[in-house]
């Protein structure tokens, strides 16, 4: 069986890179005493996949990983064992057993919800956002393997709202199309023609789709 696990990467750990996080999680799993599966080969390592790497600097409220297991374990037992092996800033929130044929979370991922806490909100910013979203195309330059290339991110913005000092965003995140929140902020503040304020961006939720409706990835 495989376990779909939801965990949090707390703000204190936001500057930890993806590889470091993965190593920390592998060591936690080794401490947990759970029946893990190892890769074959010269340097066997724990089988473990993350739905989507988090950028350095970004905390994650509900991150998802898939842990293949040697034999069946109840989700309660899994959560309890893994929790006791994790540091306080990396709590495990839930676990759901799925069978071997269940597609990998990474393959089901289509979008993510973010929030950006802005240090200052420009005047009439809601109007700016409305104007920004009313554009038919939002062309930005993106770094690709073959240099900078123009690309339209408008279809990748599923939601963009201001609530108090916080910007809520739902953006495409999949193997086919991804709009990073940083890129969106850059484009938005260029459109607003104001200097971009400091902002702590947090990934709140990973999403997949069922019958054309977004749902939390861990429930799919």
Partner 1 sequence: MNEQQSILLEQLLEQVQKPAQYIGGEMNSVIKDWDSVRFRFAFCFPDTYEIGMSHLGMKILYHLINSRQDALCERVFMPAADMADRMRQSGLPLFSWETRHLLTEFDIIGFTLQYEMSYTNILEMLDLARIPAYRDQRTDDMPFVVAGGPCAFNPEPLAPFIDAFMIGDGEDVMHELIEVIRDGREAKKEKIDILRDLARLEGVYVPALYQAEYNEDGTLRAFYPVDDAAPKVVKKRVVKDLSAAIYPDTIPVPYTEIVHDRMVLEIMRGCTRGCRFCQAGMLYRPVRERSMDRLLELADKLQQSTGYEEMSLSSLSSGDFSCLPQLIQALMDRYRDKRVGVSLPSMRIDNIVKQSLEETQQVKKSGLTLAPEAGTQRLRDVINKGVTEDDLIRSVTDAFECGWSSVKLYFMMGLPTETDEDLRGIGDLAKKVVDAYYRVPKEMRSKNGVRVTASASVFVPKPFTPFQWAAQDTMETVHEKQASLREYLKLKCVHFNWHESGLSMLEACISRGDRRIGDVIYAAWKRGCRLDGWNEHFKFDQWIEAFHDCGLTPDFYAYRERPYEELLPWQFIDAGVSQEYLKKENEKARQVQTTKDCRHGCNGCGLHTWGVCDWVKHPPLKDSDKMSAPLFD
Q: Which CB, 69 or 129, lies closer to partner 1? A: 69
* 20 touches partner 1 (CB under 8 A): yes
Report the nearest approach of partner 1 to the CB of residue 113 (Å). 23
| C-alpha–C-alpha distance, residues 149 and 139, integer Å | 10
| C-alpha–C-alpha distance, residues 43 and 115, integer Å | 39
- Give the dihedral of Cα atoms 27, 28, 31, 35; nearest 10 deg: -100
- The tokens describing 131, both together, are 């104007």
* 24 touches partner 1 (CB under 8 A): yes
Which stretch in 36-44, 120-128, 138-146, 166-174 sits in contact with partner 1 by CB under 8 A?
A: 36-44
- The tokens describing 216, both together, are 């939390």
Report the nearest approach of partner 1 to the CB of residue 205 (Å). 24
Let me know: does 28 contact 90? Beta carbons within 8 Å: yes
Q: Which CB, 90 or 206, lies closer to partner 1? A: 90
Q: Which CB, 3 or 16, lies closer to partner 1? A: 16
Report the nearest approach of partner 1 to the CB of residue 12 (Å). 5
| C-alpha–C-alpha distance, residues 174 and 52, integer Å | 9
| C-alpha–C-alpha distance, residues 218 and 63, integer Å | 9
- The tokens describing 128, both together, are 């700016």
* 5 touches partner 1 (CB under 8 A): no
Interface with partner 1 (CB under 8 A), residue total 26
* 8 touches partner 1 (CB under 8 A): no
Question: Which member of 12, 18, 149, 161 binds partner 1 (CB under 8 A)?
Answer: 12
Which stretch in 66-74, 80-88, 125-133, 205-213 sits in contact with partner 1 by CB under 8 A?
A: 80-88
Which stretch in 37-45, 72-80, 102-110, 170-178 sits in contact with partner 1 by CB under 8 A?
A: 37-45
* 107 touches partner 1 (CB under 8 A): no
* 113 touches partner 1 (CB under 8 A): no
| C-alpha–C-alpha distance, residues 173 and 106, integer Å | 10
Let me know: does 165 contact 118? Beta carbons within 8 Å: yes
| C-alpha–C-alpha distance, residues 169 and 184, integer Å | 9
Inter-axis angle of helices 181-192 and 125-134, to 10 degrees? 110
Residue ranges binding partner 1 (CB under 8 A): 12-13, 15-17, 20-21, 23-24, 26-31, 33, 38, 42, 44, 57, 85-89, 198
């Amino acid at each position: 069986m495989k376990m779909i696990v939801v965990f949090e990467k707390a703000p204190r750990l936001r500057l930890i890179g993806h590889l470091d996080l993965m190593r920390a999680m592998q060591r936690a799993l080794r401490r947990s005493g759970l029946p893990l599966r190892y890769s074959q080969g010269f340097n066997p390592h724990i089988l473990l996949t993350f739905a989507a790497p988090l950028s350095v600097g970004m905390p994650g409220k509900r991150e998802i990983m898939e842990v293949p297991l040697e034999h069946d374990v109840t989700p309660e037992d899994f959560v309890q064992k893994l929790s006791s092996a994790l540091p306080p800033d990396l709590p495990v929130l839930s676990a759901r057993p799925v069978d071997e044929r269940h597609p990998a979370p990474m393959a089901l991922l289509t979008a993510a919800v973010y929030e950006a806490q802005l240090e200052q909100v420009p005047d009439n910013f809601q109007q700016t956002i409305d104007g920004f979203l009313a554009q038919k195309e939002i062309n930005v330059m993106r770094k690709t393997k073959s240099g900078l290339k123009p690309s339209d991110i408008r279809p990748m913005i599923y939601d963009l709202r201001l609530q108090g000092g916080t910007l809520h965003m739902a953006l495409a995140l999949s193997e086919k199309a991804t709009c990073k929140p940083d890129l969106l902020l850059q484009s938005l503040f260029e459109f607003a023609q104001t200097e971009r304020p400091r902002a702590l961006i947090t990934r709140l939720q990973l999403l997949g789709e069922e019958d054309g409706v977004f749902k939390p990835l861990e429930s799919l």
